[in-house]
Structures are given as C-alpha cells and as structure tokens.
C-alpha cells in the first residue's frame, strides 16, 4: 500500500485519488458493519463484508444517512469502537430532543488535524502567524477543530473562543494577531465596535480572516476584506463530517477544495436524489472516509451547492465546491448557531398560557442576528398582573435558551394580533436578506 505525505495527497491524479478513496471506504465499511444500525442497512443492499464493495460506484447502493438516524441511535448506536477507545465527542446544535453526537478515537483526531493543517496551509498560513480562534470552544466543532491543525502548523494559537469583543481587540492588539477565525457576522460586528472601543485599523496587524459556519455571499466576503484591508477565506464543515476543514478555500479564492481523500462527494438532485453533472446545484451528500469511531455513510447535509467544473490554478486535485447557496430544509443559522423552527415550536407549545398563533422573526440588529419569538397568549393572562407577564416572558426566554443555545427576544401579543395566513401558516420571517 502506498503511503502518501500530506503534501503528496493534495496533488494525486484522479486514478490514484480514487484508488485511495476505495481503500479508505472499505476500511470505513468494516467499522460501519460493527454497528447494528449499519449492519442491517448494509446487509439490506447485499454488503455484508467490505469486499462486497467492488468499486466506488457501489457506494450508490448504500441508503442515505440523515440527522434523524443519528438522533434515533443516540447515544451509542453508531459507535463502532469500544468506548474506551473514544477520546473525544462533539455534538451538533440544531436538533429537537437529543443532540447528534460524533465520537473520535485518537487516530480519528490525528487524521482530522491533518485536514485542518492542510486547510490552513492552503490559504497561506504558516508558523509566523498569530492565530486568534474566535469560534466557540465546546461541543461545537468550530473552536477545537482548527485549533490542533494550527498548532501542528506551528502557528501561535490564541484560543480566545467566541464573544467578549473588548477582550478580542485587546488580544489582537497586544499579541499582533495576523489570522482570525470567526463567523462572517462576527467579523462585521468586530468592525462596527472598533470606533466605540477606541481601536484603529493601524493598531492591528490582521492579514487574514477564515470565515465560515454560516451562509454568506461573495459580496459579504468582499465587504469584510475591504473594511479590514485583509484576505477572507471561506471555510465549510459540519460536525457529522468532523467539523471545519471539510472544504476550504486556497489562496486562489475560487471555491472550496473539498478534501476528497477524506470525503466522497455526491451532488444530487434535491427532488429525485439522482446524481447531477458538475456545475449543477443540488444537495451535497458526503461520506466520511477517515473516521473509524463514528462511521457515517452518504450523509445528507441538506446544503445546496455545486461542483465547480475544471481544475484550480493552485494544482490541488480535490474538486472544489461553490459557496453554499441554500438548504433543502428549514434550518436557520443564527449567528452561526443552527436552529430548527420545530425546536422553538416545541418549547412554545409546552407553555400553558400560549394562544393559537406564534411567529419566528430573524432580523439584523447592527451586524448581528436577533431572533424574536412572537407569541399570542390567552386573554386571561393579559388581564392579570403585569408581573405575571414578565415572569412568563422570563420563563420562555430561559426555556428557549436551554433548547436552542441562543437567547431570543420574546414578545407577547394579544389574541388575534399576529397575522393569520389563509393557506399554510408562515411561521418564519427571515428579514436578513442576501445571506446566500
């Protein structure tokens, strides 16, 4: 078996890359067969042994895996190794009920670090850089994900995590940060706070921003670049596929290389789920080829994108995906946190005082997103003491925060005040515009 260096792997020709993919896929199938869930699923399509997979094309026989499958098998139904081999877990935000959990063994983490190392290198980072990681450290993969790749590359890592803008500026200034990792909306927020916090652009040594975790347009990227006088690179990932460094832009900034030695890409028609040609927009379906503790085959990301036809000027052979142009489901991304309207409904419907109508409004406040939950309440409570209203609001805010991890604004309304649709109720009003 050929062993490639991280550098060689990025420039493999198609044939060598696909041979490596098949080899890795068989290894992952071995792991998947160790779980009752995949044993049954794979058995159903005649795959009882990794060698039953003759070519990469056979991947198409395998049924899709969805977020619901991960939730239904919570907590350990998809764990393919002994629990004592697990060294870390992460969980995805944005699910009702139980989270979707991913497990990593020691080698899984090393392989993921290999990808984050390559991604940082591809966009021009090196050991001279001071890297301030403003993504939240925790169950969310955004923080810890790039952290280890950055250390591997020898960058000076400041694990500042999310929020606390004043401290972010202090660190940026005092430690001469050259690279930051943040959501695009947080970059805009930082800029909007500069004057207020007495920071001038000339106080900073910033050269690059790695931006991801939420949809953003090319115009928004340019805006961030112009405001700060830096380069901004798009970074795509999802916890089910490890986290950041599924796809990353190189210095050419012409789409994100989806690291094909680590993931099999399919772009499928959103209705028929049939394969599309390069260049056509459809749902991205991914198979992780490098994680053995939590194998996930043909995962429906629900993200819409396309493969950019042709090759990249940088010479890397992994194909590139375009920025995400939408989702096939109703998931909202609010300041980088995934929220499903059903999570909000679940909380709202548990409140005995709730009336018949509610609405979810997302809008910009300055540069950040705000989530407003508008709820009609029964007439009895309205005529009661206003203290009861405050208490109800407080209870709702707490319950929503506990469920979706972000603090919403709750507005209570009299019955009949919220708009009523004649047809299907419009529960979500997203006023942010120009996200994709």
Stretch that binds ligand AMP, among 4-12, 51-59, 185-193, 233-241 (CB under 6 A): 233-241
Least distance (Å) between residue 312 CB and Zn ion:
3
- Dihedral sign for Cα 272, 276, 280, 283, please: positive
Of 312 and 400, CB closest to Zn ion: 312
Stretch that binds ligand AMP, among 28-36, 188-196, 211-219, 347-355 (CB under 6 A): 211-219
Q: Is 213 in the site for ligand AMP (CB under 6 A)?
A: yes
Q: Is 190 in the site for Zn ion (CB under 5 A)?
A: no
* Burial class of residue 272 in the structure, from the number of CB atoms within 10 Å of its CB (0-12 exposed, 13-18 middle, 19+ buried): exposed
- Residues 86-125 touching ligand AMP, rule: CB under 6 A, are 92-93
Q: Which of 21, 113, 119, 239 binds ligand AMP (CB under 6 A)?
A: 239
Q: Which of 73, 301, 317, 357 binds ligand AMP (CB under 6 A)?
A: 301
Is the preceding peptide bond at 334 cis, omega within 30 degrees of 0? Answer: no
Q: Is 234 in the site for ligand AMP (CB under 6 A)?
A: yes
Q: How far apart are the first and last CA of the chain?
A: 43
Task: Give the integer Cα–Cα distance in Å for 364 and 372.
Answer: 11
Reported residue count of the chain is 436
User: Hunting for tokens 């699923």 — which residue is that?
Assistant: 41
* Burial class of residue 15 in the structure, from the number of CB atoms within 10 Å of its CB (0-12 exposed, 13-18 middle, 19+ buried): exposed
Spatial CB neighbours of 70, under 8 Å, sequence gap ≥ 6: 78, 100, 101, 240, 296
Q: Is 324 in the site for ligand AMP (CB under 6 A)?
A: yes
The partner in contact with residue 234, picked from Zn ion, ligand AMP, none with C-beta cut-offs of 5 to 8 angstroms by kind, is: ligand AMP
- Residues 126-145 touching ligand AMP, rule: CB under 6 A, are 141
Directed axis angle between helix 165-174 and helix 184-193, to 10°? 80
Q: Is 340 in the site for ligand AMP (CB under 6 A)?
A: no
Report the C-alpha dihedral over residues 279, 281, 283, 287, rounded to 10 degrees: 10
The partner in contact with residue 357, picked from ligand AMP, Zn ion, none with C-beta cut-offs of 5 to 8 angstroms by kind, is: none
User: Hunting for tokens 């890397």 — which residue is that?
Assistant: 316
**281-to-252, 264, 327, 328 alpha-carbon distances in Å:** 22, 17, 11, 12
Q: What character string, x for contact with Zn ion (CB under 5 A) and - otherwise, covers 313-342?
A: -x-x--------------------------
Of 181 and 327, CB closest to ligand AMP: 327
Least distance (Å) between residue 359 CB and ligand AMP:
23
Kindly state the number of chain residues that form the binding site for ligand AMP, as judged by CB under 6 A. 19
Nearest residue to 122 via CA among 316, 309, 265, 260 = 316
Q: Is 249 in the site for ligand AMP (CB under 6 A)?
A: no
Of 176 and 330, CB closest to ligand AMP: 330
Task: Give the integer Cα–Cα distance in Å for 302 and 330.
Answer: 10
- Residues 211-270 touching Zn ion, rule: CB under 5 A, are 250, 252
Q: Is 283 in the site for ligand AMP (CB under 6 A)?
A: no
By CB under 6 A, name the binding residues for ligand AMP: 92-93, 141, 212-215, 234-239, 301, 303, 324, 327, 333, 338
By CB under 5 A, name the binding residues for Zn ion: 250, 252, 312, 314, 316
């Amino acid at each position: 078996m050929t062993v490639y260096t991280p550098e060689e792997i990025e420039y493999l020709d198609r044939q060598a890359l696909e041979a490596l993919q098949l080899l890795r896929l068989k290894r992952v199938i071995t792991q998947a067969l160790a779980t009752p869930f995949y044993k049954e699923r794979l058995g159903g399509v005649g795959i009882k042994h990794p060698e039953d997979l003759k070519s990469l094309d056979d991947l198409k026989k395998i049924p899709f895996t969805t977020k619901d499958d991960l939730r239904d098998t919570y907590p350990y139904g998809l764990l393919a190794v002994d629990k004592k081999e697990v060294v870390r877990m992460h969980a995805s935000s944005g699910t009702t009920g139980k989270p979707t959990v991913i497990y990593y063994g020691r080698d899984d983490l090393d392989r993921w670090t290999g990808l984050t190392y390559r991604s940082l290198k591809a966009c021009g980072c090196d050991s001279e850089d001071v890297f301030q990681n403003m993504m939240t450290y925790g169950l969310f993969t955004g923080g810890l994900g790039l952290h280890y790749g950055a250390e591997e590359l020898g960058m000076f890592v400041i694990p500042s995590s999310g929020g606390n803008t004043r401290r972010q500026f202090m660190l940026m200034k005092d430690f001469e940060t050259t690279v930051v990792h943040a959501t695009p909306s947080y970059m805009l927020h930082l800029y909007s706070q500069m004057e207020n916090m007495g920071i001038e652009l000339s106080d900073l040594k910033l050269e690059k921003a790695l931006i991801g975790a939420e949809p953003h347009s090319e115009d928004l990227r340019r805006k961030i670049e112009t405001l700060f006088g830096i380069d901004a690179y798009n970074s795509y990932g999802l916890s089910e596929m490890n986290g950041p460094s599924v796809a990353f832009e190189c210095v050419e900034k012409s789409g994100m290389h989806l690291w094909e030695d680590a993931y099999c890409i399919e772009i499928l028609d959103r209705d028929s789920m049939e394969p599309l040609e390069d260049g056509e927009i459809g749902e991205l379906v991914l198979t992780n080829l490098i994680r053995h503790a939590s194998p996930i085959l043909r995962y429906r990301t629900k993200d819409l994108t396309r493969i950019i036809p042709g090759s990249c000027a940088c010479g890397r052979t992994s194909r590139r995906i375009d920025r995400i142009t939408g989702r096939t489901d109703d998931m909202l991304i609010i300041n980088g946190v995934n929220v499903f309207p059903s999570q909000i409904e679940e909380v709202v419907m548990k409140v005995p005082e709730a009336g018949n109508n509610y609405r979810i409004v997302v809008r910009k406040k300055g540069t950040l997103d705000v989530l407003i939950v508008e709820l009609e309440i029964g007439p009895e409570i309205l005529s009661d003491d206003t203290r009861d209203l405050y208490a109800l609001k407080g209870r709702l805010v707490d319950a929503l925060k506990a469920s979706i991890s972000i603090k919403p604004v709750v507005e209570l309304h009299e019955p009949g005040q919220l708009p009523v649709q004649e047809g299907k109720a419009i529960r979500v009003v997203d006023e942010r515009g120009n996200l994709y």
